[in-house]
A and B are shown apart, each in its own frame.
Chain A
């Protein structure tokens, strides 16, 4: 199965790398930001850092659309940051399954990205039980990275 891993280049990538064992036996590729770390990844598409810019968000959305059209992954997995937003909404459009994993650094407060992608996620996981009450019924706690 083809799996698309979407995350930004810092801690969100660190979390994803700690979950790589789960993708063994599947064909996985990354959509992430360009940086010294991400250039060392095997199969990756590198985008410009979106930050808070709506213009760059639009550009990233167009790029993500083209990448997903080309690669046609069955599943999209994200550990977060705003790069996941276009990917998750486009995935909805293309009927790809989506799994969002809220960051381990979020003990009691949800992320902005988490709140935005929650309605379109097929599976929504949090890494602290205390965070469950801040999301709806869909959110699940299945353990954490540490």
Chain B
């Protein structure tokens, strides 16, 4: 199965969807598309707009290959051990504000983590080429550790170890606002 996903952005990615739907009509393999904010409605492929987090992960796991735009869905797929074809949204087609997805796809392709396809005409060939070999994705622990350290430092300076806790505004304001906020935005 080929899973195609274009993220949560309100702006869709019709260029990729049209091509993948066209390919779906020519091959035996099942093509499943999460259309997101796209306006194109696939005719040949199975499709839906969004699914829940767990269903999404399951689709990434089951797929032979995940075809996606150039963003965090790449990590979602690689984490499930599925090879990725990254098709970056491009500024020249008005799909995104700048070409950051192109730079990311190129960088990851250089590292051998994804197959980067900028021209959708090359998709059919790339789909045939991509094997089932898994890419080793090593989670970088440094950022988490750095954040932990930072929070500890801030906590120490703010109320820890004999320091006075600073109150940013009077508590009566807080009480007055509390009811309004919970009615309006429904915090759980």
> Which A residues are closer than 8 A to B by beta carbons?
1, 3, 8-12, 14-15, 18-19, 21-23, 26, 29, 35-37, 40, 42-47, 49, 51, 63, 66-67, 69-70, 72, 74-75, 77, 94-97, 99, 101, 104-109, 111-112, 123, 125, 127-128, 142-146
Are A9 and B8 CB-contacts (below 8 A) given A125-B146, A145-B140? yes
B143 contacts which of A19, A40, A70, A97 (Cβ < 8 Å)? A19
Q: Which A residues are CB-close (under 8 A) to B9?
A: 10
Q: Distance (Å) between the CB of B35 and the closest chain A CB? A: 14
Q: Are A123 and B150 in contact (CB under 8 A)?
A: yes
Can you list 5 A-B pairs, Cβ within 8 angstroms, ordered by A?
A: A45-B187, A51-B10, A66-B181, A70-B174, A142-B143
Q: Distance (Å) between the CB of B146 and the closest chain A CB? A: 4
Q: Distance (Å) between the CB of B104 and the closest chain A CB? A: 5
Q: Are B148 and A22 in contact (CB under 8 A)?
A: yes
Q: Distance (Å) between the CB of A122 and the closest chain B CB? A: 8
A123 to B76, CA, bound (A): 27
Smallest CB-CB separation from A122: which chain B residue? B154
Q: Distance (Å) between the CB of B94 and the closest chain A CB? A: 13
Q: Which B residues are CB-close (under 8 A) to A43?
A: 187-188
Q: Are B50 and A36 in contact (CB under 8 A)?
A: yes
Q: Are B8 and A35 in contact (CB under 8 A)?
A: yes
A14 to B154, CA, bound (A): 25
Q: A63-B184, A69-B174, A125-B146 are in contact. List 18 more A-B contacts (CB 8 A).
A: A1-B154, A3-B151, A12-B72, A35-B8, A36-B50, A37-B53, A42-B188, A44-B188, A45-B185, A67-B181, A67-B185, A74-B155, A104-B75, A106-B100, A107-B103, A143-B143, A145-B143, A146-B75
Q: Which B residues are CB-close (under 8 A) to A99?
A: 147, 150
Q: Are A14 and B139 in contact (CB under 8 A)?
A: no
Asked if B58 is an interface residue, CB under 8 A from chain A, the answer is no
A77 to B9, CA, bound (A): 22
Q: Which A residues are CB-close (under 8 A) to B154?
A: 1, 74-75, 97
Q: Are A105 and B137 in contact (CB under 8 A)?
A: no
Query: Sorted from nearest, which 7 A-B pairs have the closest CB atoms?
Result: A143-B142, A10-B8, A11-B72, A22-B147, A142-B146, A94-B168, A14-B72
A29 to B187, CA, bound (A): 9
A135 to B151, CA, bound (A): 23
Residue-wise, chain B 57-71 has the 8 Å CB interface mask toward A (1 for contact) of: 000000000000011
